Structure 1
């Protein structure tokens, strides 16, 4: 053996030994991987697939969310059709939806085929990965934004967590496309970063891993930023967001939002660098940028010091007509009715409970937009139900104009005006035309 070979062997043995703690740490953990459409066509794509197969063999639970933007652009160009964009969102009309579906299907098939190979003398030999796709994501339309109808462009409404877990636990790799279906059978073109963020949050994934063209984000001198706290990441996006290319801005925002929703670590790495994924996961310094969540969150009774924070939270919802307006004076008087979700001194969610005989009104349920889809509203609702049971109340009721579906999912059923306490009936605002929902409390 030559000196060079001996040195390389020693380096390999050293690396392998030092990776052992990370191998143990990552085993049985859940990772969500963002793979943009550009990565699928890159020369390094098959090396990424080999590294994904290695993670699978180490008992890491994997959800792979792929993009398809360049594939969609190519299909549209070939058909001499071009998309309009609004606020960086593609407007998917009925004519282009067919081409979008074809492009996404092609990208998904390419990824699935690569994950299914098992040639001898290759890293995929005996990998035998089971890859499963399905309707794990429920979508809804973006709707009309500033007068522009985005048509078949949608966003994630819900993730079917139980179904996902039933596939992940036996060891299958879940492959998700940037497409979703509504309960009415409509098809929507989704942002793959939106899918990845919601899935990571819903699964309470241990990591979100986002492939980008470069290694990560850089400072003013062009040096790679190795790690960012949530606050630092927020500041970076605020200061530099409009100057970042769309892909990097999208990936960094996904990392930030995922960590806000409870994912502990999110990492950016290059899809063009061979071994970037393994280096990022199994070495101390890695090759990319890590965003980490180290904040403390608690659910507690509100105090007079929380009034300003609650007002900041509910004002946008009041202006949008979702909540009934409350003055500071009224809120100060009724602060003992409120519970809040406090994250490092910031009120990110709130709710109030107003007893009426053997019933209670659940009111002013609000969650900050950056902290939605992380289960906080449901946790807050459970807390309010527990408070109601302590007071021997039999039913909860609420009035809502825009969030009926969510409350139905939490066990509420639609009621009538006469079902409410008399004192509440006389205060009913017919102009708002709020829907009434009631939930039975079982002690």
Structure 2
């Protein structure tokens, strides 16, 4: 039996809980490459999907089958033909695609039927529904190339999919569509997943891929993964890149993420299937593991409301316990909540600061500047400081000050100067704790 260590499990679970709450009832469309299945990752991935489904996320799973179709073609001695980044589907290739899709659907449904071995969910039932949810049209002839039975999604039966996920089923879709006349077309998984996410106005579109994500410097394979890419930046990057033709090209999955976000899908993700649990890490941690494309930056600064009181208390408490912050009465936080500025990411508050003005002295105290230890070092403290400065200037104040016992160097680097406590406005001086011996630092506002 494995050991559970409370000192690591409890903080981890507390950090994950806000995401479990935030995503309950949301709809995720997940595109899974055939390469992931060929790499033997199906069973562990299905377990992760089952966990997410058990926590209330509505899931539509779209599978790919590039390597499986190529394997069928090789067995028949028939070449795999591509152009413009798409497969050319002749009659033999269409037969191979149908065989591969049937086999993969069987394997995926069997994997879901296993439950979660050796866990309390071993006997849980995950209902999987598949069906003819797509209407397709032919790609046709492009630059003189006849794509034959290759198609593009024309319409997604969003109402039928919605009914299925609303009764608690996971919807499984293959990259096949049919025309109104009954002709079958081989589709691209990426096209199907994107069209489905748009039709459902899904909360997330996630691609499990053979690439790690989009790197900060696409020309440097060793540069860091850009974990959050604004839609405008993603479009600028796409404009600089050559048209993608291979799944490993930088723009291959990115083009679908951009298309989805432009059409109203809030977030699109490119994740590496090579990393065990990549889907869980992306969904249930602050920074994730792959690249997320969003219509605008998820991190936002705003003034607090009474709905934030519980989050503010939970954020501040650890720093009160270790002595970094002076303990505040809970009624004080509730009374002064409108003095607080918060920084939130994906609906979760990770930082705060309060502004208490002293109008007669034309100054204000910045208090309770706090950034969660989980995200420190990413510039959130500076963003909060800038917003507090903006609020103070808007009040016609000429300076702000802080009282601190541990973080004076951080403030000095950002333009604060130490002063004698007697500098404080009279009202604040009366409340100064001389036993604590906090250092007073002042910053003049230009």
TM-score of the superposed pair, with normalisation by structure 2: 0.62
The aligned counterpart of 1:418 is none
- Secondary structure of the residue that 2:288 maps to in structure 1? coil
In the TM superposition, what is the alpha-carbon distance from 1:43 to its structure 2 partner? 3.3
Deviations 1:132-168 (A, max 9, x none): 1101011111111122221110010000111111101
Unaligned runs of 5+ in 1: 296-443
- Summarize the Cα distance change of 1:246–1:103 in structure 2 as closer, same or farther, 3 Å threshold: same
Q: Which of 215, 219, 244 lines up with 2:216 in the alignment? A: 219
The aligned counterpart of 2:84 is 87
Question: For the residues of structure 2 that align with 1:168 and 1:243, how far apart are their CA atoms?
Answer: 33
Question: For the residues of structure 2 that align with 1:98 and 1:78, how far apart are their CA atoms?
Answer: 13
The aligned counterpart of 1:232 is 233
The aligned counterpart of 2:271 is 269
- Secondary structure of the residue that 1:128 maps to in structure 2? coil
RMSD between aligned residues:
2.1
The aligned counterpart of 2:202 is 205
Tell whether 2:288 aligns with 1:291: no
Deviations 1:356-409 (A, max 9, x none): xxxxxxxxxxxxxxxxxxxxxxxxxxxxxxxxxxxxxxxxxxxxxxxxxxxxxx
- Summarize the Cα distance change of 1:172–1:146 in structure 2 as closer, same or farther, 3 Å threshold: same
The aligned counterpart of 2:155 is 158
Does the aligned pair in 2 maintain the 1:32–1:64 contact within 8 Å? yes
In the TM superposition, what is the alpha-carbon distance from 1:244 to its structure 2 partner? 8.4
Q: Which of 98, 101, 105 lines up with 2:98 in the alignment? A: 101
Which of structures 1 and 2 has the bigger CA Rg? 2
- Summarize the Cα distance change of 1:120–1:91 in structure 2 as closer, same or farther, 3 Å threshold: closer
Question: For the residues of structure 2 that align with 1:246 and 1:214, how far apart are their CA atoms?
Answer: 8
Does the aligned pair in 1 maintain the 2:50–2:112 contact within 8 Å? yes
Tell whether 2:64 aligns with 1:67: yes
- Summarize the Cα distance change of 1:127–1:215 in structure 2 as closer, same or farther, 3 Å threshold: farther
Does the aligned pair in 2 maintain the 1:57–1:127 contact within 8 Å? no
Question: For the residues of structure 2 that align with 1:94 and 1:63, how far apart are their CA atoms?
Answer: 29
- Secondary structure of the residue that 1:266 maps to in structure 2? strand
Deviations 1:113-150 (A, max 9, x none): 11121365157513310001101011111111122221
What is the aligned residue count?
Answer: 292
Unaligned runs of 5+ in 2: 298-446
In the TM superposition, what is the alpha-carbon distance from 1:250 to its structure 2 partner? 2.8
Does the aligned pair in 1 maintain the 2:115–2:122 contact within 8 Å? yes
- Summarize the Cα distance change of 1:235–1:127 in structure 2 as closer, same or farther, 3 Å threshold: farther
Does the aligned pair in 1 maintain the 2:244–2:252 contact within 8 Å? no
The aligned counterpart of 1:14 is 11
TM-score of the superposed pair, with normalisation by structure 1: 0.63
